[in-house]
Amino acid sequence: IEKQKMYNDRVIEEFKNPNNVGEMPDADGVGTVGNASCGDIMKIYLKVEDNIIKDVKFQTFGCAAAIATSSLATTLIKGKTIDEALKVTNKQVVEGLGGLPAQKIHCSVLAEEAIKAAIDDYQSKKK
């Protein structure tokens, strides 16, 4: 019996070659979110200039779905305004990946939350 594939090829590709991985020591905003029940953590760093997200990096300690969604979500917000970035939803990210297994949808929520947390941090520092 062939084992049912958990992830589609798009997700596996994004997981193997993620964009925007890394740290950003001079970030203008940092957002860290986690799922206390499993210990998975996602951290997003933003560099903002004139209200535009000039650069974004992420560090994710989680499953393949979490890495793939971090990668796609950071790609989606790079070059966007803060307002546009706030509108990025986990649903969009999941659609961009061609779908995720139902039990992995919650991992994509981390990416949306981490972006919002990083923007919050940026906005509170600006004041």
Asked if 65 interacts with ligand FES (CB under 6 A), we say yes
Rg (CA), the chain: 14
C-beta closer to ligand FES: residue 57 or 104:
104
Asked if 63 interacts with ligand FES (CB under 6 A), we say yes
Measured distance CA(8)–CA(57) in Å, rounded:
24
Asked if 95 interacts with ligand FES (CB under 6 A), we say no
Secondary structure of residue 11 in the 3-state scheme: helix
* 107 part of the active site: yes
Asked if 38 interacts with ligand FES (CB under 6 A), we say yes
* 63 part of the active site: no
Which stretch in 18-26, 34-42, 47-55, 76-84 sits in contact with ligand FES by CB under 6 A? 34-42
Q: Which of 16, 22, 23, 38 is catalytic?
A: 38
Q: Is residue 111 a contact partner of residue 70, using CB atoms and an 8 Å limit?
A: yes
Counted residue by residue, the chain has a size of: 127
Query: Residue 31 CA to chain centroid, in angstroms?
Result: 10
Measured distance CA(127)–CA(122) in Å, rounded:
9
Active site residues: 38, 107
Residues that bind ligand FES (CB under 6 A): 35, 38, 40, 62-63, 65-66, 104, 106-107
